[in-house]
Amino acid sequence: MKEFSNRIPTLLKNHPRANLLKIPAIIHKLPGLSLRLGQNIYILRDDLTGFALGGNKTRKIDYLVGDAIDKNADTLITMNATSFSRNAAVAASACGLDFHVILPGTEIQQNPASQALFNQCGTKLYYVANRADALSETYDHILISLKQKYKKVYELHPGGSDEIGALGYLHTFQSILDFSYHHDVHFSHIIHSTSSAGTQAGLVLGQCASTYDTRILGVSAALPAHTQYERIRELALSTARMLGIQLDETKIHIDDKFIGPGYATPSEEGEYATRLLASMEGILLDPVYTGKAAAAMLDYAKNGMFKDDNVLFIHTGGNAGLFY
């Protein structure tokens, strides 16, 4: 493993972080679940990143805000009330940056918990009628207005899934390599929820850069496998070009069989997995992303697809569904 240890840090050295995350990646075994499944199941706790609400979005934001500060930005802008924009609100406040978010619908239609967090951070919110083009039109109008006021604006892609945001999980893959090497545990499978593509694109590039032999499986939260594959492939390719490395497209694996009734709608399998991890390990999942990814992991284990391997499940956060 030593021969792999320096390449990822070298690739990342010219991309500054905001250093928002206060703790290294936490990886540990799930003893109860492992015993129940007859399988060695480990978990990467990105619900515990040490900043704001936690989750995979904080890893993307660490690089995005670092890039914004490096470019002398004083203002951030994005759209939609998501786990990304909520964590970005805290990051902007902590770093002394103004933050503007364009939201679909009226103020009264918003999640009260989300509104309270935005207000606590001093985020400027704009409400837009629910029609197809209204959100992007208002976003463009606010962006132009801010620039006319001589604000140095940095745009945040919704979900943080662009080339800079994807670096967060290239960095995380190094943490997986370090754990694997220092604990002499090789992970045959790495399973996580995939949606806006940044998490999986970063992980796949980490595998390509290190040549670590594993199967990274993204469990789709919304899109058919072929559509999600193209989304990840496009982002991974553009990020690879930025870094000057090669992408092996055969490393992108998607499973779309656990979406259930649809995006943001709980599934029976996901609810079972959520109850199981809460009762056996004291770990809280959410019904939109991590619950369904855990359901896939349980199904794979039940059907003998892991054999006697070590499996790593990435808990990408979600605040147990409180903001949905």
Cβ proximity of 64 and 95 under 8 Å: no
Average pLDDT, the chain: 94
DSSP string, 242-260: HHT----GGG-EEE-TT-T
pLDDT digits (tens, 9 = 90+) for 184-211: 999 999 999 999 999 999 999 999 999 9
- Dist. CA 294–CA 274, nearest whole Å: 8
Give me the pLDDT at residue 320, please: 65
Contacts of 265 (CB under 8 A, 6+ apart): 287
CA neighbours closer than 13 Å in the CB half-sphere of residue 10: 9
Does the fold of domain 74-151 match that of domain 2-56+163-321? Answer: yes
**Token match 């009264």: residue?**
108
- Dist. CA 292–CA 297, nearest whole Å: 9
Q: Which residue ranges make up each domain of the chain?
A: 2-56+163-321, 74-151
- Global pTM? 0.95
Q: What is the CATH number of domain 74-151?
A: 3.40.50.1100
Cβ proximity of 263 and 292 under 8 Å: no
| Whole-number percent of the chain with pLDDT over 90 | 88
Burial class (CB in 10 A: 0-12, 13-18, 19+), 182: exposed
pLDDT tens, residue order, the chain (324 aa): 444 558 999 999 999 999 999 888 999 999 999 999 999 999 999 999 999 999 999 999 999 999 999 999 999 999 998 899 999 999 999 999 999 999 999 999 998 999 999 999 999 999 998 777 889 999 999 999 999 999 999 999 988 999 999 999 999 999 999 999 999 999 999 999 999 999 999 999 999 999 999 999 999 999 999 999 999 999 999 999 999 999 999 999 999 999 999 998 999 999 999 999 999 999 999 999 999 999 999 999 999 899 888 999 999 997 766 776
Burial class (CB in 10 A: 0-12, 13-18, 19+), 148: exposed
DSSP assignment letter at 222 = S
Q: Which CATH number applies to 2-56+163-321: 3.40.50.1100, 3.40.250.10, 3.40.1710.10, 3.40.50.620? A: 3.40.50.1100
Cβ proximity of 215 and 190 under 8 Å: yes
**Token match 């890893």: residue?**
59
